Copies of this chain bind each other. A is one copy, B any other.
Amino acid sequence: MSTSIKDVAAQAGVSVGTVSNVLNHPARVSPATVKRVQRAIGALGFVRNDAARQLRAGASRTIALIVFDAANPFFTDLARGAEDAASTEGYSVVLANTSESDERESGYLDLFEEQRVRGILISPYGDVEDRLVALKGFGIPSVLVDRVSENEKFSSVSVDDVAGGLIAVEHLLGQGRRKIGFVGGPAGIPQVRDRRHGAEKAVSQTPGAALTVFDTTATTVLEGRRIGEVIVGMAPGERPDALFAANDLVALGLLQALVVSGKLTVPDDIALVGYDDIDFATSAIVPLTSIRQPSALMGETALKLLSDEASDPQLKPQRIIFQPELVIRASA
């Protein structure tokens, strides 16, 4: 049906081996022949059949990136970093969004296993480490992103959330605030837990400082608003003079509730620090001080680790932990 390498060979008057060499190792072929073959390719509109190539060559040039929430700006930034790195290394990245479904996550793992992708970048949703071990045995390496490997079997790229919580609250303490509120939850989420631990650590190092925890059922704008209203309703003596939110969505919700009330100003009455430094943080009513994670760099790094592991499967797993960074704006 479609033109194959054989047709190209006939058209150019060379053997199929030569055409293949033009495609994959041009240096081995004389310049004149290269030109002739390329002309034939152009004339016939030949497109290499990747399935056949992969079947024979064994390895694909595709890397899969599996995330559980493609809508989260953090992941889209990370994806962009991975794509950039991939294109310089000669790989292509395809994205799979599992929409927080175990079933779909496992379905995509099946798909990519059948496709024999070169490697998998994954921010796991369900419990997939066993599955990834099997894939590794099968010759498909993985690198975890935004999550460290529990059994040390995989390389991972993540951020030190304890440090993030620490610098956020240290910043608030440094401005003389003493009654700190931590807003976030549920406590089961590793990221939330770590950020809170960092906050507790900072408070415990400063005499006279205290931390109150406001638990949320999710890290959303709505939950932030709910807590914000609670705080507005508190007696002035009880009320925190600074808030650290588990992420920027929660922080934006808090901000809205405080501003709308008309009773409290940010940062004069209450200072506020968020987490993630999403685009919206800059353009909030009061531009938000936040903790930035190097999302694109994380994607880039993860891809490089994966690429290294793909070329040398013996490589032992590396754990890379980035340090977050405080971005000071108007809210604290």
Residues of A within 8 A of B (CB): 1-2, 45, 47-55, 58, 60, 62, 64, 70-71, 73, 76-77, 79-80, 83, 87, 92, 94-97, 99, 104, 107-108, 111, 113-116, 134, 138-139, 220-222, 225, 253, 256, 259-260, 280, 282-285
Contact = CB atoms under 8 A, between A and B. Distances in A.
B95 A108 contact: no
A255 B86 CA distance: 40
Contact of A94 (B87, B95, B259, B280): B95
A-B CB proximity, top 9 nearest: A95-B95, A71-B76, A221-B283, A51-B54, A94-B94, A50-B114, A51-B55, A51-B51, A50-B115
B79 A92 contact: no
Contacts of A114: 47-50, 53
Contact of A70 (B49, B60, B92, B95): B95
A50 B112 CA distance: 9
A51 B54 CA distance: 6
Contacts of A116: 49-51
Contacts of A55: 49, 51-52, 55
B94 A96 contact: yes
Nearest to A56: B51
A37 B328 CA distance: 63
Total copies of the chain = 2
A2 B222 contact: no
Nearest to A255: B285
A285 B62 CA distance: 44
A329 B64 CA distance: 41
Given A50-B114, A70-B70, A107 B87 contact: yes
A48 B253 CA distance: 49
Contacts of A80: 97, 99
Contacts of A115: 50-51, 62
A92 B104 CA distance: 10
B138 A225 contact: no
A179 B134 CA distance: 66
A14 B45 CA distance: 42
A217 to B, nearest CB: 15
A256 B71 CA distance: 24
Contacts of A73: 71
B285 A285 contact: yes
A88 to B, nearest CB: 13
B47 A253 contact: no
Nearest to A249: B283
Given A139-B1, A253-B283, A280-B221, A47 B97 contact: no
A95 B256 CA distance: 35
A87 B2 CA distance: 29
A111 B76 CA distance: 21
Nearest to A253: B283
